[in-house]
Structure 1
Amino acid sequence: MIGAEAKAVLSILLLSCSLRSLGILAGGEFSLPADRPSYRVDDQGRYEFVGALEISSDGALYIGSATALSRNWVLTAGHNIDLDDNGLVDQGLDIQFHLPRFGSYMASSFSIHPDFSGFGNPSIENDLSLIYFDDPLPELVFPSLGGGVSLGDVGTLVGFGRSGYGSYGYTTEASLTDRRFGFNVIDELDNLFRYDFDSPSSGSGLGNDLETIIGPGDSGGALLVSDSLVGVNTFTEGYGGRFGDYGGGVPLNGQWDWIQGVTGLTVPEPSSILLLMIGFAGVISYRRTLRRN
């Protein structure tokens, strides 16, 4: 949680930059196993249910990420539809949901979490929103719903945000076309989840070609454990995509009743979802300076 007094001294990084280029951070440029931003692209469509949001608000364009729950409903970060941080859907908001290989789809309506009052206003909890589409999305392989994240889980992070190298940070812009993914271990869990971006030299991460952190434009993207959607990526803390930075977001453990109430979707009981989980463990440390992504 971040207090109002701390918010005044934070360097807040908007969820997106321009409409030009690439998401998820690669490892060290010269570390082994070899890694680079292009290696993290989901070119097989494994995570086809995660799309890019092209957000138009007050004459400006932004990029965010979101996860399709069904052919009519998409889940994303609350601050993707509340750019002025007052806890309300922005007036005159237009959003297109881009799904590589399928096309783009215009959003029809928006529902922001009732307990979200704006990013860092005074907290960053409950940073969630749902987007409805009158014209159905294509038939996708949607993620399993109803699951929750646990401390020590290895999560898959998916989004369309900025990328680069853990050695020195961002080297690309956000994109509507390049969906990236990587992995990290959940190190802290309460009303938010957090994980550290470990250097391969630390000996405590998942490896140079696996470990990652989100970047600007990844906000609203998926945190998955196996094929189960368990969280929404919303923020980073640190120096801009470098080793030692922290990332995190909103766990869905206690949010499924709200999601089901708004969407009408059938959400399985968590006990049945747990049978599908697959994971492995790691060790993490951290340092912080908060940003939204």
Structure 2
Amino acid sequence: MKGAGIYVLLVALGLSAMLAGPAYSGTIRHDVYDSEYLALAASPAFDCVGRVDGTTSTSGFLASGTLIAPDWVLTAAHVVKGATSLDFTIGGVTYQATSWVAHSKFNADKLSAGYDIGLIRLGAPVSNINPASRYAGAAELGNVGISVGYGLTGTGLTGAVGLDGNKRAGENMVDTYYPVRNKNAAPNIILMDFDSPLSPSESSFGSSEPLPMEYLIAPGDSGGGLFADFGGGMELIGVHSFGWGILDGNPDSDYGDASGDTRVSVFNSWIDEALSGVVSGPGKSGGKGGGRPSFASADYEFGYFAVVVPEPSAIVLLLMAALGMAAWKRM
């Protein structure tokens, strides 16, 4: 293995494509009906997850976010860093953001540091949807996580190939944390892999047995929510951050790939301070595109050369979707 690609889960769009284009969401098992993933996403517990549409000085993009207070959305730092405008659509209503903030330690060239977390403040409160409950414990490991978001879709065989405008949700075991630190510092990242029902070798963490609705996040899921039930209902445990082509070096969300989520429990104090106005801002932060990884940016902390690949252009994305969806339907 020469290396493993890592990509941030943000879909870049030309402005016209963004205005006309739908949201899209994660990759599923090839042997499970897509309707099951759509139905899970439609559960009331996940009404709090919405779509983020934004612009930078040069382009538009879409991502995901989770409502955590009537007028606050939790998302990834790389979603808000460098944004010039942000909208949040939830329950069929679009809310304009008035301010946003990324964690001060976020570095787009060092995603493995685990500070990929940000907040969006809405210009008006969302009154008809219950905000997510944030998990405050330390027992995420070994639980079934439910990933929810608006990313590219496909199967474990095809990888992320299509756009269809639907929110999806699926299961994955919370396999491990990263980085492994001393006992006095909690790891910031939750890692999960996309286990294949066809080959146990396509597994890097934990059991190789896939869950009934095994799933992996894909481009466009940036900032979406990872949830788990600890006995009192669904709680938000992670924020979708990046994908990782850990086995084949191609981070396309197919079987064997992995994903990283920023761990919410580690950042609850930062979130509370931001909501109360203690964190600087919260304001429109990041300048002109400062949060977008460059073509040459790399992250060495995974033990080998892990290049952050550039986000696809609108034209490439739409061509990929047209070809990929056609191939998927023929399967």
User: What TM-score does the superposition give when structure 1 sets the normalisation length?
Assistant: 0.76
1:198 maps onto 2:200 in alignment: no
- Mark the CA change 1:288 to 1:252 in structure 2 (over 3 Å): closer, same or farther: farther
Structure 2 distance, partners of 1:35, 1:124, is: 36
Q: Secondary structure at the match of 1:237?
A: strand
Structure with the higher fraction of residues in helix conformation? 2
Structure 1 distance, partners of 2:308, 2:168, is: 20
Once the two structures are superposed, what CA deviation does each residue of 1:103-133 show, in whole Å capped at 9, x if it has no partner? 10000001211221x2124744111111111
Structure 2 distance, partners of 1:44, 1:254, is: 27
Structure 2 distance, partners of 1:143, 1:258, is: 17
CA contact (8 A) 1:154 1:183 kept: yes
Structure 2 distance, partners of 1:211, 1:58, is: 37
**CA-atom RMSD, angstroms?**
2.7
Q: Shift of residue 75 of structure 1? A: 0.5
Structure 2 distance, partners of 1:52, 1:221, is: 8
CA contact (8 A) 2:190 2:261 kept: yes
Structure 2 distance, partners of 1:186, 1:290, is: 24
Corresponding position of 1:230: 237
Structure 2 distance, partners of 1:110, 1:44, is: 28
1:23 maps to amino acid: S
Written as runs of structure 1 = structure 2, the 5 A alignment for 1:200-215 is 200-202=197-199, 204-207=208-211, 209-215=212-218
Which of 177, 180, 187 is equivalent to 2:175? 187
- Mark the CA change 1:17 to 1:191 in structure 2 (over 3 Å): closer, same or farther: same
Corresponding position of 1:161: 151
- Mark the CA change 1:206 to 1:109 in structure 2 (over 3 Å): closer, same or farther: same
CA contact (8 A) 2:148 2:226 kept: yes
Q: Shift of residue 145 of structure 1? A: 2.0
Corresponding position of 1:284: none
CA contact (8 A) 2:9 2:242 kept: no
Structure 2 distance, partners of 1:44, 1:122, is: 31
Q: Shift of residue 102 of structure 1? A: 3.1
Identity among equivalent positions (%) equals 27
Structure 2 distance, partners of 1:122, 1:223, is: 18
2:224 maps to amino acid: G
Structure 1 distance, partners of 2:258, 2:308, is: 10
- Mark the CA change 1:158 to 1:12 in structure 2 (over 3 Å): closer, same or farther: closer
Once the two structures are superposed, what CA deviation does each residue of 1:230-283 show, in whole Å capped at 9, x if it has no partner? 111100101201100011111112211111111139xxxxxxxxxxxxxxxxxx
1:179 maps to amino acid: K
Corresponding position of 1:134: 123
How many residues align? The count is 247
Structure 2 distance, partners of 1:75, 1:14, is: 15
CA contact (8 A) 1:233 1:250 kept: yes
Corresponding position of 1:78: 77
CA contact (8 A) 2:70 2:125 kept: yes
- Mark the CA change 1:46 to 1:254 in structure 2 (over 3 Å): closer, same or farther: closer
CA contact (8 A) 1:102 1:138 kept: no
Moved more, 131-140 or 253-262: 131-140
Q: Shift of residue 141 of structure 1? A: 2.0
User: What TM-score does the superposition give when structure 2 sets the normalisation length?
Assistant: 0.68
Unpaired runs of at least 5, structure 2 = 178-186, 201-207, 278-303, 312-331
CA contact (8 A) 1:237 1:288 kept: no
Structure 2 distance, partners of 1:105, 1:45, is: 20
Unpaired runs of at least 5, structure 1 = 1-5, 83-89, 266-286
